[in-house]
Amino acid sequence: MIGDTLHLIADQLNTFFKFRFNTDEDKVVLDSIVSVDGQVEARNLDKVVLTLVNLQQEKLTRNYHSYKAHDGNKFSKKKPAVTLNLYIVVSCLYSEHNYQQALTFLSAVVQFFQNKYAFTHANTPALNHDIGKLIFEIENFSPQEIGHLWGIIGNKYVPSVVYKVSVFNYTGGDIEQIIPGTTQPETNNQAAGG
């Protein structure tokens, strides 16, 4: 679910970038910023890179089991839906002398999410049916926090923004139990005392 959700975000951004910059090239990729050996991925230069940096469960929106009626007087019981917060860094990696392009791309990312801050089934038909909606919020970091984040990532700072993506009502789709419904008790239609 997490990978599919992040791919959907990258696809939506790519569609916007193709229209905004009149290009056929995918400028947005889902990838790590640096390789395992600590080197910047050369294939991602002059691209916008989406990277997951944290995942948390939202405790305030915890739900209880949900039940759904089916034909034949049966009900399915599902595990409680959860809200997850995905923290993604949207980085604009640039090659030498392309810093201005990186800033242009970063501005386009902010513009996109300012105009489409929620993905719902109505405005994003490709959204996984196990997810209610996605909400995007910029996370504000102090310069020290940003320095710490980039130290953990293993790279020097590049133009970027961190978004908290709230994944509402993720159910996982697994049915926990099928429960038979209640039926009318059988009654004896004969009159008493006959």
Flag whether 192 is in a domain: no
> 172, exposed or middle or buried, with CB in 10 Å at 0-12, 13-18, 19+?
middle
Structurally, the chain folds into a number of domains equal to: 1
Flag whether 194 is in a domain: no
Average pLDDT over residues 69-83: 69
Average pLDDT over residues 12-19: 97
Q: Which residue has the higher pLDDT, 34 or 194?
A: 34
Tell me how far apart the alpha carbons of residues 134 and 37 are, in angstroms, rounded to a whole number.
33
Question: pLDDT band for position 8 (50/70/90)?
Answer: very high
Flag whether 193 is in a domain: no
Structural domain for 12, as ranges: 2-179
Flag whether 104 is in a domain: yes
Flag whether 95 is in a domain: yes
Average pLDDT over residues 73-102: 86
Flag whether 54 is in a domain: yes
Query: In angstroms, how far is CA 96 from the centroid of its own chain?
Result: 32
Among 84, 61, 87, 70, which residue's Cα sits nearest to residue 172? 84
Flag whether 98 is in a domain: yes
Flag whether 146 is in a domain: yes
For residue 71, what is the DSSP state? Answer: T
Query: In angstroms, how far is CA 28 from the centroid of its own chain?
Result: 15
Tell me how far apart the alpha carbons of residues 52 and 2 are, in angstroms, rounded to a whole number.
9
Average pLDDT over residues 127-156: 94
